[in-house]
């Protein structure tokens, strides 16, 4: 096989920089072990010059949050004509903005928790308490609050009491200008990764997340041992198949490419409620995609080497 | 002494294969074997947010990294080369667990600047004073023991106390440092429940994070109160020589030989060398040395000998003056910027030395919950709760002026002011609610955050 030069992009200036650096290190090591010549680059003012002066065969994106997931970096790579692993810029933008993605899911008949997304300015203009009351009337309690964009559960919180809501809103709005409020769905939390090969997209075994205390927040995500994972998820075969079908449907619906991860909750009725999809799934030691890859009998380095070949062939 | 990694066959009691064959349980995940006392050492949302502080786009007022720009690196390079060439056989070898004797003599000369008369035999050199703090806690504290500390206190000390499961009781300060009456009250309350704290941990000079200095006239009183209640005193003094007026204050240890004194070359010379020390009463010394030996065998001879050469061959007092002049300029820049830009309702102290300004923000603002907004605006600070063991401090934040240039400090404060305005705006929308805080792990930046 030809030895490819691959630039792994990691870091950036998002709130998830630390997670991204960890994903990047892991991906770089996996690609090297599989025989690639790897450079590890941050996304900064030197990036474009680097891509021009030392052009890699392809770029693999291990950026989380911000420009690495909202399509900005992808758009620049498209402008420069650099092949890259992952979803094209226009589709990233759809997946990245949670309310937009949820609207697409709902329109396509996929289940997603009922929601409302509102910017701070609307609360200020219309009166926060009135709008919050309407929100609770419609969605009930507990509510899940999260920034409309972003990952790693940063800024996400479950609100059980109406009285806690104003403070939770202020905390959430520290991450961005718009809050996504969702009906809280109790159930089994599952992540389903999708990878593409010559036969098209296929779903990897669903990973069930059993977080300490039931809350899969930042601490639970990145503290080894704070969450227990079951691969495949401890669900019946029909539900597992439904999870895989839903992940594939979401992947196709939003025009995702190469690799994605759907986060969902299987509710009490066995329905798959999509929370979000990720175009740049985490690759850290505690992340879900690597678990699914390994459960499918694959190696992360081999998977990404194959995706690099796909990216190069697309060029 | 180092042992071979695999014991010779005759000393092996159970071969791994034999254990497996005997039906021993399959190994649990390594994380299931963690000691309960490490339960707080988790991933932290706050720590993650500091990752961007290393990028030049972000003005970090969060870390406590000394500014080494003024160090004479060329001269030090010559010293390092000469050290290896002449004394390499000693510098690269194991050394004494207590530290190189000649350095301990020089350390006594340094401490004399703050009125301490000490015997080099009572000095234990450590890998930074942080290690001294860890060892002192190790030899004095059982799980559940009470340690008194100023509120707020140094985050690294709180980390050590937590690691040994000590309970921290904070005593408040005012602009003159620890308040004797409040110390007395705390001791009285604890005595009523039958508790005698193991020691008072105090940073008397240019406090981290509060920036204040314990008034000279309070010092003897604090010692008297602790003596009356049978409580030890641990004096942590990394900043004592960094006063902007050049003034030094009499160390608590200069007034009471039972005080455990912690010192460091991290701020007066170079933090990367990790050379600090503890000066302890003779009765404590041997146990501390044994504890140190079990932790590291000995502090690195190489860095100790470099410090020795630096102290003997360079005008280190002038170097400290150069450092403090730079820090004073930076403090001035910060105070000017705070005065100019911060919104109404913010207050702060005026430090006479050290690295830090402690800011109180308008009521209702939770500085920890506001941090993501600051990071988005490309400025970082340390939120106040990290400096308390009891969740207090949500209205406070620590700003460091030690590392960025005056221009960057001004820009950082300007950004912080905009962040505060935006946060206040959102709070007004939602009716100034009382706030929730982020969960998990260390709540302050690590010391190597820029």
Q: What is the mean pLDDT of chain B?
A: 91
CB B430 to CB A13 under 8 A?
no
Interval B278-306: pLDDT, tens: 999 999 999 999 999 999 999 999 999 99
Please state the three-class secondary structure of A75-107 as a single string: HHHHHHCCCEECCCHHHHHHHHCHHHHHHHHHH
Q: Which residues of chain A make contact with B366, given a CB cutoff of 8 A?
A: 170-171
Residue B122 has pLDDT above 90, yes or no: yes
C-alpha angle B127/B272/A24, rounded to 5°?
A: 110
The top-level CATH class assigned to B73-313 is alpha beta
Residue A71 has pLDDT above 90, yes or no: yes
**Matching residue, tokens 């020589």:** B241
B30, B423, B439 member nearest A217 (Cβ): B439
Tell me the pLDDT band of B435, cut-offs 50, 70 and 90. low
Number of H helices, E strands in chain A: 12, 14
Q: Which two tokens stand for residue A114?
A: 């009922």
Q: Which residues of chain B make contact with A44, given a CB cutoff of 8 A?
A: 55
Q: Which two tokens stand for residue A286?
A: 């505690």
Q: For B193-206, what is the mean pLDDT? A: 98
All residues at 6 or more sequence positions from A287 whose CB lies less than 8 Å from its CB, including other chains: A23, A281
Cα–Cα distance for residue pair B189/B171, rounded to 1 Å: 12
Interval B339-389: pLDDT, tens: 999 999 999 999 999 999 999 999 999 999 999 999 999 999 999 999 999
User: Which residue of A10, A171, A223 is the best one to mutate when testing the B interface, meaning the one whose CB has the most B CBs within 10 A?
Assistant: A171
Tell me the pLDDT band of B258, cut-offs 50, 70 and 90. very high
Domain A93-111+186-296: which topology?
D-amino Acid Aminotransferase; Chain A, domain 1 (3.30.470)
pLDDT at B374: 96
pLDDT at B424: 96
pTM: 0.90
Positions of CATH 3.40.50.20 in chain A: 5-86
Does residue B321 contact residue B172 with C-beta atoms inside 8 Å? no
Residue B46 has pLDDT above 80, yes or no: no
Cα–Cα distance for residue pair B399/B407, rounded to 1 Å: 15
Question: Which of A73-77, B186-190, B279-283, B430-434 is predicted least confidently?
Answer: B430-434
Q: For A289-302, what is the mean pLDDT? A: 96
Residue A106 φ/ψ, nearest 5 degrees: -60, -45
Catalytic residues of A, by residue number, are: 16, 152, 222, 261, 263, 276, 278, 282
pLDDT at B1: 40
- DSSP helix/strand/coil, B284: helix
Residue B139 φ/ψ, nearest 5 degrees: -85, -20
Positions of CATH 3.30.1490.20 in chain A: 115-183
Pairing of strands B356-360, A157-159: unpaired
Nearest CA in chain B to A224: B31
Interval A113-144: pLDDT, tens: 999 999 999 999 999 999 999 999 999 999 99
Q: How far is CA B144 from the centre of its chain?
A: 22
pLDDT at A93: 95
CB B48 to CB A164 under 8 A?
no
CB A124 to CB B48 under 8 A?
no
Tell me the pLDDT band of B442, cut-offs 50, 70 and 90. low
A120, A152, A218 member nearest B426 (Cβ): A120
All residues at 6 or more sequence positions from B288 whose CB lies less than 8 Å from its CB, including other chains: B124, B135, B136, B139, B278, B280
pLDDT at B183: 98
Tell me the pLDDT band of B8, cut-offs 50, 70 and 90. very low
Residues of B with CB under 8 A from a CB of A: 29-32, 34, 42-45, 47-49, 51-52, 55, 57-58, 366, 369-373, 375-376, 378, 423, 425-427, 429-431, 433-436, 438-441
pLDDT at B446: 65
Q: Which residues of chain B make contact with A62, given a CB cutoff of 8 A?
A: none
Cis peptide preceding B342, ω within 30 of 0: no
Q: Which residues of chain A make contact with B381, given a CB cutoff of 8 A?
A: none
Longest CA–CA span in chain B (Å) reads 75
Domain A115-183 CATH superfamily: ATP-grasp fold, A domain (3.30.1490.20)
Q: Which residues of chain B make contact with A176, given a CB cutoff of 8 A?
A: 376
Q: Which residues of chain A make contact with B55, given a CB cutoff of 8 A?
A: 11, 13, 17, 42, 44
pLDDT at B448: 56
The packing angle between helices A89-96 and A98-107, to 10°, is 90
Burial of residue B28 (number of CB atoms within 10 Å: 0-12, 13-18, 19+): exposed
Nearest CA in chain A to B369: A171
Q: Which two tokens stand for residue A138?
A: 């419609």
CB A128 to CB B51 under 8 A?
no
Cα–Cα distance for residue pair A278/B138, rounded to 1 Å: 46
Q: Is A67 near chain B, with CB under 8 Å?
A: no
Interval A257-268: pLDDT, tens: 999 999 999 999
Tell me the pLDDT band of B15, cut-offs 50, 70 and 90. very low
Positions of CATH 3.30.470.20 in chain A: 93-111+186-296
Does residue A94 contact residue A149 with C-beta atoms inside 8 Å? no
A13, A168, A223 member nearest B43 (Cβ): A223
B45-70+318-438 maps to CATH 3.40.50.620 = no
Question: Any bridge partners for residue A188, and if so which?
Answer: A266
Q: Which two tokens stand for residue B255?
A: 């007034």
Positions of CATH 3.90.1150.10 in chain B: 45-70+318-438
Q: For A196-216, what is the mean pLDDT? A: 92
- DSSP helix/strand/coil, B298: coil
Q: For A14-20, what is the mean pLDDT? A: 92
Strands (E), B280-372: 347-348, 356-360
Q: Which two tokens stand for residue B10?
A: 């005759």
Which of B52, B442, B373, B381 is closest to A19 using CA atoms? B52
Q: For B138-164, what is the mean pLDDT? A: 96
Share of chain B above pLDDT 90, in %: 81
**CA distances to A6, B218, B222 from B187, in Å:** 63, 17, 12
Q: Which helix (H) or strand (E) holds B157?
A: helix B155-163
List, in sequence order, the alpha helices (H) in A82-206.
89-96, 98-107, 120-126, 128-139, 165-173
pLDDT, greater one: B1 or B320: B320
Q: Is A173 near chain B, with CB under 8 Å?
A: yes
pLDDT at B176: 96
Q: Is A45 near chain B, with CB under 8 Å?
A: no
Residue B429 has pLDDT above 90, yes or no: yes
CB A170 to CB B49 under 8 A?
no
Which of A169, A94, A93 is closest to A129 using CA atoms? A169
**Matching residue, tokens 């003596």:** B227
Size of interface A-B (CB pairs under 8 A): 111
Side-chain-side CA neighbours of B352 within 13 Å: the count stands at: 17
pLDDT at B42: 82
**CA distances to A45, A67, B334 from B357, in Å:** 33, 34, 8
> Around Cβ A237, how many Cβ atoms within 10 Å?
8
- What is the rounded (10 degree) CA torsion for B391, B397, B398, B399? 160
pLDDT at B6: 45
pLDDT at B129: 96
Cα–Cα distance for residue pair A227/B428, rounded to 1 Å: 37
Q: Which residues of chain A make contact with B441, given a CB cutoff of 8 A?
A: 219, 223
Given 3.40.50.20, 3.40.50.300, 3.30.70.100, 1.10.3470.10, which CATH number is that of A5-86? Answer: 3.40.50.20
Q: Which two tokens stand for residue B361?
A: 């923000």
Tell me the pLDDT band of B31, cut-offs 50, 70 and 90. confident
Pairing of strands B276-279, B123-126: antiparallel
pLDDT at A63: 97
Does residue A60 contact residue A8 with C-beta atoms inside 8 Å? yes
Q: For B25-36, what is the mean pLDDT? A: 75
Share of chain A above pLDDT 90, in %: 89
Positions of CATH 3.40.640.10 in chain B: 73-313
Residue B390 φ/ψ, nearest 5 degrees: -120, 20
Q: What is the mean pLDDT of chain A?
A: 95
Q: How far is B426 from chain A (nearest CA, A)?
A: 6
């Amino acid at each position: 096989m030809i030895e490819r030069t691959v630039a792994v992009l990691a870091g950036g200036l998002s709130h998830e920089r630390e997670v991204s650096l960890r994903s990047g290190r892991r991906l770089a090591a996996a690609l090297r072990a599989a025989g690639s010549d790897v450079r590890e680059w941050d996304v900064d003012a030197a990036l474009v010059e680097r891509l021009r002066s030392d052009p890699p065969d392809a770029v693999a994106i291990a950026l989380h949050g911000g420009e690495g997931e909202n399509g900005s970096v992808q758009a620049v790579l498209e402008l420069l004509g650099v092949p890259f692993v992952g979803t094209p810029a226009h589709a990233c933008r759809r997946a990245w903005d949670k309310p937009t993605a949820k609207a697409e899911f709902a329109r396509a008949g996929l289940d997603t928790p009922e929601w409302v997304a509102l910017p701070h300015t609307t609360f200020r203009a219309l009166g926060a308490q009135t709008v919050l009351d309407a929100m609770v009337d419609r969605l009930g309690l507990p509510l899940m609050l999260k920034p409309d964009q972003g990952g790693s559960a940063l800024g996400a919180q479950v609100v059980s009491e109406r009285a806690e809501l104003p403070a939770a809103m202020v905390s959430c709005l520290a991450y961005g200008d718009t809050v996504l409020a969702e009906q809280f769905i109790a159930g089994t939390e599952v992540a389903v990764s999708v990878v593409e090969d010559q036969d098209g997209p296929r779903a990897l075994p669903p990973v069930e997340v059993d977080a300490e205390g039931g809350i899969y927040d930042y601490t639970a995500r990145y503290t080894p041992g704070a969450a227990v994972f079951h691969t495949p998820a401890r669900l019946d075969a029909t539900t597992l198949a439904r999870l895989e079908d839903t992940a594939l449907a979401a992947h196709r619906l939003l025009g995702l490419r190469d690799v994605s991860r759907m986060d969902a909750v299987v509710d009490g009725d066995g329905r798959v409620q999509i929370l979000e999809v990720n175009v740049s799934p985490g690759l850290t030691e505690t992340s879900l995609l690597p678990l699914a890859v390994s459960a499918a009998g694959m190696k992360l380095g081999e998977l990404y080497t194959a995706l690099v070949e796909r990216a190069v062939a697309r060029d | 002494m180092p042992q071979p990694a695999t014991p010779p066959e005759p000393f092996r009691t159970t071969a791994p294969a034999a254990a497996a064959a005997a039906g021993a349980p399959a190994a649990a995940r390594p994380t299931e074997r963690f000691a309960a006392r490490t339960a707080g050492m988790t991933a932290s949302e706050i720590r993650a947010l500091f990752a961007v502080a290393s990028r030049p786009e972000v003005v970090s007022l969060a870390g406590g990294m000394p500014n080494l720009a003024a160090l004479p690196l060329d001269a030090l390079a010559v010293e390092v080369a000469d050290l290896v060439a002449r004394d390499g056989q000693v510098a690269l070898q194991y050394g004494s667990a207590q530290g190189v004797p000649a350095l301990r003599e020089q350390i006594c000369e340094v401490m004399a600047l703050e009125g301490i008369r000490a015997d080099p035999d009572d000095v234990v050199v450590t890998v930074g004073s942080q290690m001294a703090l860890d060892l002192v806690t190790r030899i004095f504290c059982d799980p559940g023991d009470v340690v008194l500390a100023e509120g707020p206190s140094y985050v690294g000390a709180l980390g050590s106390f937590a690691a040994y499961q000590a309970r921290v009781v904070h005593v408040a300060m005012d602009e003159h440092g620890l308040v004797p009456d409040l110390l007395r009250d705390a001791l009285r309350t604890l005595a009523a429940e039958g508790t005698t704290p193991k020691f008072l941990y105090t940073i008397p000079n240019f406090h981290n994070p509060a920036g204040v200095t314990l008034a000279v006239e309070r010092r003897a009183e604090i010692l008297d109160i602790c003596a009356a209640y049978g409580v030890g005193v641990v004096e942590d003094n990394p900043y004592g020589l960094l006063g902007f007026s050049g003034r030094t204050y009499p160390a608590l240890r200069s007034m009471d030989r039972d005080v455990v004194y912690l010192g460091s070359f991290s701020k007066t010379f170079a933090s990367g060398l990790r050379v600090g020390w503890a000066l302890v009463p003779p009765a404590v010394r041997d146990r501390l040395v044994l504890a140190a030996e079990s932790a590291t065998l000995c502090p690195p001879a190489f860095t100790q000998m470099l410090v020795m050469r630096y102290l003997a061959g360079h005008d280190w007092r002038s170097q400290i003056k150069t450092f403090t002049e730079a820090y004073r300029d930076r403090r001035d820049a910060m105070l000017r910027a705070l005065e100019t830009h911060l919104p109404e309702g913010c207050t702060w102290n005026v430090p006479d030395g050290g690295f830090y300004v402690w800011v109180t923000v308008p009521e209702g603002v939770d500085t920890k919950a506001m941090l993501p907004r600051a990071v988005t605006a490309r400025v970082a600070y340390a939120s106040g709760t990290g400096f308390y063991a009891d969740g207090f401090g949500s209205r406070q934040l620590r700003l460091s002026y030690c590392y960025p240039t005056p221009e960057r400090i001004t820009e950082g404060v300007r950004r912080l002011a905009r962040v505060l305005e935006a946060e206040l705006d959102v709070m007004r929308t939602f009716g100034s609610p009382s706030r929730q805080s982020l969960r998990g792990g260390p709540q302050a930046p690590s010391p190597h955050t820029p």
